[in-house]
Amino acid sequence: MGDFIDGLKRGKNAIQQAMDRRGEFRAGGKQVVCPHCSNGLFEKGEAQMNTQGATFLGLDWLNKSASLLVCTNCGLIQWFIIQPEKNQKS
């Protein structure tokens, strides 16, 4: 029974993390809106910006990462070096 309860807790935590990544965001003091479909709801992610030199030397971990906002309507990806802020109401 303990494994079942632990599984439920892990599932709840996974759902909460997914909800924390989804919402409306601001970047540079402006509301982020999809330039393709005008949607305002996004899923947030992270991506590493690899460089050939670091990859060649096996030093990918030295590369910077960027924040991504993926439009929940059309899937367009927007990249941000400065992390966008999630709106409090989202």
What per-residue confidence (pLDDT) applies to 64?
A: 73
In the predicted model, what is the mean pLDDT of residues 15-19? 55
What per-residue confidence (pLDDT) applies to 39?
A: 98
Query: What are the beta bridge partners of residue 65?
Result: 48
Query: What are the beta bridge partners of residue 70?
Result: 43, 77
HEC assignment per residue over 39-83: CCCEEEEEEECCCHHHHHCCCHHHCCEEEEEEECCCCCEEEECCC
Amino acid letter, 57: L
> How sure is the predictor about 3, in pLDDT bands with cuts at 50, 70 and 90?
confident
Is pLDDT of 21 > 90?
no
The pTM of the full predicted model, rounded to 2 decimals, is 0.66
Decide the pairing of beta strands 25-27 and 85-86: antiparallel
Is pLDDT of 48 > 60?
yes
